[in-house]
Amino acid sequence: MTRRRLLLGGAATAAVVLVKSSFGKMVQTGIPEAAFDPTRQVGPLPGVLGTRSPFEHPQRKPSLTSSQTPLQDLYGMITPSDLHFERHHAGVPAIDPNSYELMIHGMVDKPTVFSLADLKRFPSVSRICFIECSGNFRKPDKENITPQDICGLTSQSEWTGVMLSTLFREVGIHPKATWFLAEGSDAAVMTRSIPVSKGWEDAMIVYAQNGEAIRPQQGYPARLLLPGWEGNTSVKWIRRIELSDGPFMTREETSKYTEPVKDGKIRQFSFTMDARSIITYPAYPAQLQKGWVEIRGLAWSGRGKVQKVEISTDAGKTWNAARLQEPVLDKAHTYFRYLWQWNGDTTAIMSRAIDETGYVQPALQELFAARGLGTGYHLNPVTAWLIKRDGQVVYSPEKWK
Amino acid sequence: MPFWACVAGTLMIACERRNTAMPEHFGYGRPATEKEIAAIAIAIHPDGKGLPAGSGTVQNGALIYAAKCAACHGATGVEGPYNILVAPDTVDAPPFDKAPKRIKAIGNYWPYATTIFDYVRRAMPFNAPGSLSDNEVYSVTAWLLYANKLIGANAVMNAKTLPAVVMPARKYYVTDSRKGGDGPYE
């Protein structure tokens, strides 16, 4: 079969394939049914960019305010950059890296403006960690929802940039400066107040994600990265850091990203993401067959390393340790696996993460008992998947408030 | 290993040793001028530091709100479709931890009045952020505070009066005390 015929396409198509057109552009085209034999057809020659197989369609799920990572379609600890979740408050800004600047001022000795090139000249550091939105929770209201629906607002990348402590030393932080404001240059000019101690501990200004320039949706050309803290604090498109002697009480740390707790109180500056896990396989919409099943999923903690993941295949009556995939990193998604033999009976399977502080991922009702019913952010309950007799795997709806 | 590689390797290790100490300053970047800082440093502190000159009234705020805010937030701030802004604090309201469906808005949930000015000026209206003058922002802020029954109809909002507005929700705010570990859940 000639390339020309491929491009024109046949009547019935069984699949699509990528071919290079006469203009050198990659195009998808149909393959006539029962005609395709890859050993009899020279494929596309090397190109400038790689592509996914036309048979694979992992997609984020967008709403007006966010788009969620398809956790159930992934196999490892790194989230492909184009599948990293998005959450922003006024869209993705278009920023020219040549005119980009980061200003650090306020209670500092030397108020300074850094260009992107300046930031890249400093000693650089790479680290792998997750970013999770503190609103990463889905009300367990129906059976047909996926891991992506339940907690797709967490993703993991290798981030590269300069330690904020390096920049702090460069500008000279006043001893009485206790907080800093981080401000983005999106249309919400979004701001959060951050304790200076986090800046010295492990905060970074990052300009690269998984080995290449950070994507616009993740903060191009540079963002703040606060490992283990609620995603909103890792301010994207960062343009300004103002050192101060107190928090600024911005909208995102008062009206939003706070949660009602017991006795009518409202909890503020709840930065750290508590330990959590989710089984990503088998999960809705998977269909099981009797026999051996490898249960797989992700566990993480904003307080350090995942120490252990326990699996229950009998609706929480007994728990057994899963195998953790190395490397198990600080404040990072950790992939777990657990081999199980399904005998065909109806049951519920669930996972719980235990981090190095000894914290055990709670059940939803335990969170309600601790905080009251008004809680909303920072919900990290154990997620159960119900396995029906016919092998259908569905989310297990729980009583909600 | 060939001789040259050995020599190069030794030299590199020596260089690395000399350079392990990080300098206190690299000298990258350029000084920020007062003018540059003033042009970009728009954040308002809760004590009012950073508030600009100018002022606004409830009456003017009502006109601006109707023209530029009501389409998203409703004619009186309670209709939506987007964030509900008006919910006065009431003595007999159930606490939020017992009433998950209770509306959270400026009157019953926001701890500082300065946040309204800061946020409206930087991010609103959604379709034209940064388009309001400082006086217009003061006026919209005044109307929102009035609608939430926090100031009177004749109150004027400016750099002095705005931080002094008493916000009922402030007394409920506590700083996160979760620590991880195997203690009781918080």
DSSP-based three-state secondary structure for B68 = helix
Structure-token match 């709403």, residue found = A63
Q: What is the pLDDT of residues A11-63, one digit of tens each?
A: 444 445 554 444 444 445 555 556 789 999 999 999 999 999 999 999 999 99
Q: What is the pLDDT of residues A86-106, one digit of tens each?
A: 999 999 999 999 999 999 999
Neighbours of A337 (CB within 10 A): 15
Distance CA A69, CA A88 (A): 15
Instruction: Kindly report the average pLDDT of chain B as a whole number.
Output: 91
CATH number assigned to the domain comprising residue B59: 1.10.760.10
**Closest alpha carbon within chain B to A192:** B43
pLDDT at A278 > cutoff 60: yes
Name the nearest CA neighbour of A183 among B113, B42, B127: B42
Q: What is the pLDDT of residues A315-351, one digit of tens each?
A: 999 999 999 999 999 999 999 999 999 999 999 999 9
Q: What is the pLDDT of residues B30-71, one digit of tens each?
A: 999 999 999 999 999 999 999 999 999 999 999 999 999 999
Distance CA B106, CA B115 (A): 10
**Is there a domain that residue B20 lies in?**
no
In degrees, to the nearest 5, what angle opens at C-alpha A105 toward C-alphas A101 and A108? 135
* pLDDT attached to residue B62: 98
pLDDT at B3 > cutoff 90: no
Residues A209 and A128: beta-carbon distance below 8 Å = no
The beta-carbon neighbor of B97 closest among A103, A181, A262 is A262
Q: What is the ipTM of this complex?
A: 0.90
Residues B139 and B77: beta-carbon distance below 8 Å = no
Q: Which residues of B touch A190 (CB under 8 A)?
A: 123
A359 with B182: Cβ contact below 8 A: yes
Name the nearest CA neighbour of A277 among A400, A136, A393: A136
A242 has a chain B CB within 8 A of its CB: yes
Neighbours of A376 (CB within 10 A): 17
**Is there a domain that residue B31 lies in?**
no
Domain with CATH 3.90.420.10 in chain A: 62-263
pLDDT at B18 > cutoff 60: no
Q: What is the pLDDT of residues A203-222, one digit of tens each?
A: 999 999 999 999 999 999 99
Range of the domain at B76: 55-172
Could you give the number of structural domains in chain B?
1
Task: Name the least confident of A25-29, A65-69, A334-338, B174-178.
Answer: A25-29
β-sheet bridge partners, residue A277: A299
**Is there a domain that residue B38 lies in?**
no
Name the nearest CA neighbour of A109 among A196, A178, A166, A172: A172
**Integer CA distances (angstroms), B13 to B1, B2, B21, B46, in order:** 16, 17, 14, 53
Q: What is the pLDDT of residues B115-145, one digit of tens each?
A: 999 999 999 999 999 999 999 999 999 999 9
B36 has a chain A CB within 8 A of its CB: yes
Query: With bands split at pLDDT 50, 70 and 90, how would you rate the model's confidence at A3?
Result: very low
pLDDT at A385 > cutoff 80: yes
B81 has a chain A CB within 8 A of its CB: no
pLDDT at A373 > cutoff 70: yes
**Is there a domain that residue B78 lies in?**
yes
* pLDDT attached to residue A24: 43
**Is there a domain that residue B182 lies in?**
no
Distance from CA of A301 to the nearest CA of B (A): 10
Distance CA A310, CA B186 (A): 22
* pLDDT attached to residue B11: 47
**Is there a domain that residue B79 lies in?**
yes
Torsion, Cα of B143, B147, B148, B153 (10° steps) = 70
Residues B110 and B129: beta-carbon distance below 8 Å = no
B100 has a chain A CB within 8 A of its CB: yes
Q: Which residues of A touch B128 (CB under 8 A)?
A: none
* pLDDT attached to residue A279: 98
Residues A68 and A149: beta-carbon distance below 8 Å = yes
Query: With bands split at pLDDT 50, 70 and 90, how would you rate the model's confidence at A303?
Result: very high
**Is there a domain that residue B34 lies in?**
no
pLDDT at A362 > cutoff 60: yes
Phi, psi for A24 (deg, rounded to 5): 80, 10
| Between A137 and B7, the higher pLDDT residue | A137
In the structure encoding, which two tokens stand for residue A198, read together?
Answer: 């986090």
**Alpha-carbon dihedral sign for residues A327, A329, A148, B126:** negative
**How many whole angstroms from its chain centre is CA A367?**
22
Architecture of the domain defined by A276-395: Sandwich (2.60)
Residues for chain B: how many in total?
186
pLDDT at B103 > cutoff 70: yes
User: Per-residue b/e over A141-163, b at no fewer than 16 CB within 10 Å?
Assistant: eeeebbbbbbbbbbbbbbbbbbb
pLDDT at A2 > cutoff 60: no
Neighbours of A280 (CB within 10 A): 25
Using omega within 30 degrees of 0 as the cis cutoff, is the peptide bond preceding A62 cis?
Answer: no
Name the nearest CA neighbour of A280 among A383, A155, A174: A383
A357 has a chain B CB within 8 A of its CB: yes
Q: Which of A243, A251, A354, A373 to mutate to test the interface with B (most CBs of B within 10 A)?
A: A251
Return the DSSP state at B128.
S
* pLDDT attached to residue A29: 55
Q: What is the pLDDT of residues A234-255, one digit of tens each?
A: 999 999 999 999 999 999 999 9
Q: Which residues of B touch A271 (CB under 8 A)?
A: 176
Residues A70 and A152: beta-carbon distance below 8 Å = yes
Domain with CATH 2.60.40.650 in chain A: 276-395
User: Per-residue b/e over B96-120, b at no fewer than 16 CB within 10 Å?
Assistant: bbebbebebbbbbbbbbbbbbbbbb
What's the CATH class of domain A62-263? alpha beta
Query: With bands split at pLDDT 50, 70 and 90, how would you rate the model's confidence at A398?
Result: confident
**Is there a domain that residue B68 lies in?**
yes
**Alpha-carbon dihedral sign for residues A377, A89, B149, B145:** positive
In the structure encoding, which two tokens stand for residue A334, read together?
Answer: 């950790």
Query: With bands split at pLDDT 50, 70 and 90, how would you rate the model's confidence at B22?
Result: confident
